[in-house]
Each structure stands twice: as structure tokens, then as C-alpha cells.
Chain A
Amino acid sequence: MLSFIRKRSLSSLISLIGLLVLVFFLSRLTGDPAALFLPVEASAEMKQQFRELHGLNDPLLVQFGHYVGSVMTGDLGESLRKARPALDVVLEAFIWTLWLAAITMSLVAVAAIVVGSLAAFRSGGFFDRFSSMISLIGASVPDFWLAIVAIVVFSIQLAWLPTSGTGSVLHWILPIAVLFVRPFGIIVQVVRGSMIGALSSAYVKTARAKGVKAGPIIFVHALRNAMLPVITVMGDQAASLLNGAVIVETIFGFPGVGKLMIDSILQRDFNVVLAAILVTAIAIFIMNVLIDLAYALLDPRIRH
């Protein structure tokens, strides 16, 4: 297991380096970094000064060396806008996103597993068709549209919930509800499909021949086997919650890493953008390791 994680870490490290190289060269090769990093109205002198200060007149490879060197020592530069270390700014925002994603994903997981399993048990029945329709619609709705419709209905018309910001529990309801919909729709379908497969498997036949009751057959025999593909999709969805978070955080004025990244891009605070990339990529890597661990926990065949 340990060697597995080590191997996994190594290959992810390579991926991470690849990503950094890509972003670095893209930012350096597509025009003048000074223009990217400085405000639009900056004068020619300011740009020249900026270049010298950041060694932008050095050859590209030397610049890359410097960049890698500072990344290795954990120095991701200063946020130009906030005059603080970029990493601090990102981590601060990241905590918010992490909470948002963790709460949403937990709710999605529980709801999707229960609904999907029940739908599979009586596949073709009313509940199955109803939940299939709901989950399909859920998987088809653009989150930004849902967010603004929710604001119109719950914040403006009914005035039950605040439109944006943080502060109280009420502020969390709409973002979580909006982020919930798509992953729920997708995962319900996967759970249902996987459970139908598991319920028609040979070992379930054996359990029935043993006289095992319906409850344990669904939740003990079938579910644990059916969870394997579900976990993979859950991982993908958890990662793409960060996608959704960009939109939802922007619309709801939620101070997470997605909003930070969009703001930083629009404000040309490039060090923050790079730091945010690094932090989210590491977070996704950790999550992937956790998923692999969950896999091994669930299925003894993977452990060996």
C-alpha cells in the first residue's frame, strides 16, 4: 500500500511539474509578461523597471530556473494587489472552498447512494422512473443559470435567503444547494446502473439461495461491490466541484479560491493565479490518493 502511494505521488509530481511548466511558458511566451502582470495603464518606464526587478530580461531558461527554485522553497511570490504572500492569500480562500466542497459532496454522496440504490432495487418501477427523470434534469442544468434563478426566487421574490456574501448559516444554503444539483444527478445515475449490475450478479444469487433478507442483500452484498465505479465518479465530481465553485462563488460573492482566481485574472495578479493552480492541483492529488485508499478498503482484490 505504501509503495503504491509512493508511486502515485511520483507520477502526480510529474503531472504537477508538467502543469507548472505549461503555465509558466504560456505566461511568458504569449506576449510581454510585464503587460500581463502590470495594470493596463502602466507606463513604458514602469514596465522596464518591472522587467528588471523580476529578471524578465534574462533568458527564458534562467527565468524558469529562478521560478522553479522559488517554488521549491515554497515562495510563490507576492500578491501584487494585496501586497501579501500569494500563498497566504490563496490558502485563506481555499479553506472556504474546501468547506463548501466537503459539505456539498457529503450531502451528494448520502443522497445519491440512497436514491440510486432504491431506484435500482425496483428498477422500472415508479420511483425508479421518477428519480431517473429528476437526476437527468439535474445533470442537465447549468449551475450559473440555476444560481441566478435561485437568487430571483429565494432572495428577491421570497426574500428568505441573502443574495451574497458570508456571515451566517443562511449564506451557505444557496451555494450548497446549487452546487448539489449536478453531481447529484450524475452520481444517482451511476449508483443506479452499478447497483443494477451488482443486484443481478452471481453472488447475489448465492445470497438469495442462502435465504438472506432483501435489506442485507441490497446494502451489504450489492452496495459494497457497486461502490467501486461510484467512488471513481465521486472523485471526478469532487474535482469538478472546483469548476462549479468558480461560477457559484462568483455569483454568490463567496470568498473562495474560485472567485479569487477569477478576480486575480481580471486584476492581472498573476502570482496569485499560479499559487491557486498549485494549491488546487495538490488538493486534487490528495483527494485522488484518498480515493485509491477507499478503493483498497472496499475491495480486497486491489489490496493484494
Chain B
Amino acid sequence: MSLSSTDPLIIPEQPFLKRVFGMLWADKFAFVAAIFLIIVLVLAVIGPDWLGELAGKQNLRGRNLAPFDWGREWVYWLGADALGRPLLARIIVAGQNTLMVASGAVVMSAVVGTFLGLIAGFSGPRVSQVIMRLADVIMSFPSLLIAVIVLFLLGSSILNLVAVLAITRIPVYLRTTRAEVLEIKERMFVQAARVMGASSRRILFRHILPVVLPTLTTLATLDFAYVMLAESALSFLGIGIQPPEITWGLMISQGRQYLTNAWWLSFWPGLAIILTTLSLNLLSNWMRIALDPVQRWRLEMKGRKNG
């Protein structure tokens, strides 16, 4: 009975893409973040083919070349590493591995975690207990340490790295999904579907999953940033990606011994990580509002006023 503005008039809705754009435009930070991420993504896809050769070309006369030498080729603008390889080109090339590992781990953990979460939330107490204990085992231990140990035992390869990162992140999705399923399955519209005779599978995938999905998308975006940081840390410790492959984390680690005379070796790849994770965080914050029907009006209102 409180103040509500839902009058019996039927509110028209705009087309999906236009609405998304409008809501992005309303949050300028998220807008810039989205554009930055698109650029990073494009560079990561075309980077190795485009600059791969250049990034591996040693140039002993240009060792630890300082940045901001605008007179040289643009790939040298951020300086060069200890073997004279252009840093900017290397950062662009390394972006592919960095994003590949992170997206691989996020997709794997999200799919497996969501699936297990749906089962844990929807099935009987016994199955649910087993799954939750499994998650507890993983959660009761710092994920980076699990990764260190497992990678040490299994040897480090991109696949192992992705798998290990994915396993440590599964509980995040599992718990969120289960908690949401437990709540949603008591909602009236699920009961209504049961009364109509809908099968469990139908209820799970037609009614529950679409409602959980926005939360999971927001979570995955945030987690992408987390996984990227974790991968960088592992590579930094020397148990992630192995040379000659490169990632941003590995580049920081390689630059570490030149800290005193060539700070830029570690600084630029670090900045690449920060900007990417920052963008992901900003976008995830935006999603939290944009995907929530109760809060969405904040963005729609602003979007209309500005555009």
C-alpha cells in the first residue's frame, strides 16, 4: 500500500539493444570500460598474428630502451625489454594468453558451478550435501595455494592452469546458484508451473535458470577480473604460463630483476592488468543495476535525460 507509481497503463518497451546502449550511456564510466574491453578483446584476437613476429624480435642495441621515445616506431613507444623486444607489441601479444586463460577458466567454472548449483538446489538433501561438502573442501583453502600445489604436481601447461583456476572458482558459482535456486523454487511462479504439470527439467531450465542468469553474468564478469589476477600471480611465481609463451603476469615477473634501472618492464604490463580488471569491475557494477528490474530505472532515467 505504499507509494507506487505502477498505474494501470501499459508501459511500452524499447528494443533490447537500444535499451542496453541507453543504459550504458547513462553510466559514463561503464561506457568507457565497455569500449576499452572491446579494444582489448579485438587486440587479443588479432594481436599474435599481427605483431607476433615483431614482439619476438630481439634487438640487442635497444636493450631496456626507455619509453616515450616518440621518434621510434610506435611499438617502441612504451620502451623495450632486456632483449630489446618492443614492450607495446609484447603486451598486445600477451593479451591473448592472458584473456584466453581467464575466459577459459571463467567459462569452465561458471558452467560446471552453475550446473552443480542447479542440481544441489533442486535435488534432495543427500545429493545437495555431497555437492556442498565438495565445495567446502575447495573453499576451506586459499585458492592460490591449491593452484600452486596442483600445478606443481601436475606440471604447468595452459590447460592445467585453466583447469586449476576453474576448479578453485567453481564454489563461487555453485553457492550463488544454489542459494538462488533454493529461494526461487519457493516462488509462486515455480509453484504455478508445477501445478500445470511441468517437469523438473522444464522448471529448472525455463523458469529458474533465466532468473538466476543475470546474477551469474554479473558474478562472472567480476570473477573474470579475479581469475586474471590469479593467473598473473601464478605466472609471476613461475608456476603458471612458461616462457617462451607470455602473459602479462609473466612479463611483470621477467621485468622484476631490472626494477632498479628499467621500471617500465614491469610497470606497463601491470597497468594493462589494472585497466582491464578495473574495466571489468566497473562493468560488473553497472550490470548489477542494469540487470536488476527493481533498480534499472536509475539508469533508464539518466539515459533518457542525457541522450
Contacts and interface: CB of A to CB of B under 8 A. Distances in A.
A touches B in complex, CB < 8 A: yes
Contact of A280 (B133, B141, B277, B282): B141
Contacts of A151: 259
Contacts of B153: 26-27, 30, 36
A148 interface: yes
A11 B154 contact: no
Contacts of A148: 252, 256, 259, 266
A271 to B, nearest CB: 13
A139 B266 contact: no
B249 A142 contact: yes
B297 interface: no
B252 A265 contact: no
Interface residues on B, range: 35 or more
B140 A246 contact: no
B273 A149 contact: no
Interface string B118-146: 00000000000000011011001111110
Contacts of B225: 139-140
Nearest to A144: B236
Most buried by A among B133, B140, B266, B274: B140
A277 B252 contact: no
A103 B41 CA distance: 39
Interface in B254-295: 256, 259-260, 263, 266-267, 270, 273-274, 277-278, 280-282, 285
A285 B149 contact: no
A246 B144 contact: yes
B137 A22 contact: yes
Contact of B259 (A11, A156, A242, A285): A156
A19 B137 contact: yes
Interface of A: 11-12, 14-16, 18-19, 22-23, 26-27, 30, 36, 136-137, 139-145, 148-149, 151-152, 156, 239-240, 242-243, 246-247, 250, 258, 261-262, 265, 273, 277, 280-281, 284-285, 288
A142 B148 contact: no
A140 B281 contact: yes
A250 B150 contact: no
Given A141-B274, A145-B270, A284-B140, A250 B237 contact: yes
Contact of B145 (A27, A261, A288): A261
Contacts of A149: 263, 266-267, 270
A277 B277 contact: no
Contacts of A142: 229, 232-233, 236, 249, 252, 270, 273-274, 277
Most buried by B among A16, A30, A142, A262: A142
B260 A139 contact: no
B68 interface: no
A160 to B, nearest CB: 16
Given A18-B134, A148-B266, A12 B140 contact: yes
Contacts of B282: 136
Most buried by A among B133, B141, B282: B141
Contacts of B249: 142, 144
Nearest to A274: B149
Contact of B236 (A12, A16, A247, A288): A247
B152 interface: yes
A27 to B, nearest CB: 6
A23 B145 CA distance: 12
